[in-house]
């Protein structure tokens, strides 16, 4: 019924939120890696 539909919507929202947070963490990690790796590579050459 309506209650299960509401629960499904809630689960979808939660999943979307988790995906967004995971994407943000991945983007932040990539940025940190770039900031660390690029200067090291440029110093070596």
Counting the structural domains of the chain, the total is 1
Task: List helix spans (H) across the chain.
Answer: 2-44
Range of the domain at 18: 1-45
pLDDT number for residue 32: 97
- Give the pLDDT score at 31: 98
In angstroms, rounded to a whole number, what is the distance separating the alpha carbons of residues 19 and 13?
A: 10
Q: What are phi and psi of 9, to 5 degrees?
A: -60, -45
The predicted structure's pLDDT at residue 1: 83
Per-residue confidence of the chain (45 residues) as pLDDT tens digits? 889 999 999 999 999 999 999 999 999 999 999 999 999 999 988
Question: Which two structure tokens, joined as six digits, stand for 14?
Answer: 């939660």
Q: Distance between alpha carbon 6 and the CA centroid of its chain, in Å?
A: 26
Buried b (16+ CB within 10 A) or exposed e, 23-33: eeeeeeeeeee
Say what the pLDDT of residue 10 is.
Answer: 95
pTM of the predicted structure, to 2 decimals: 0.64
């Amino acid at each position: 019924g309506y209650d299960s539909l509401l629960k499904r919507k809630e689960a979808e929202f939660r999943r979307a939120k988790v995906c967004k947070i995971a994407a943000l963490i991945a983007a932040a990690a990539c940025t940190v890696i770039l900031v660390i790796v690029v200067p090291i590579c440029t110093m070596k050459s």
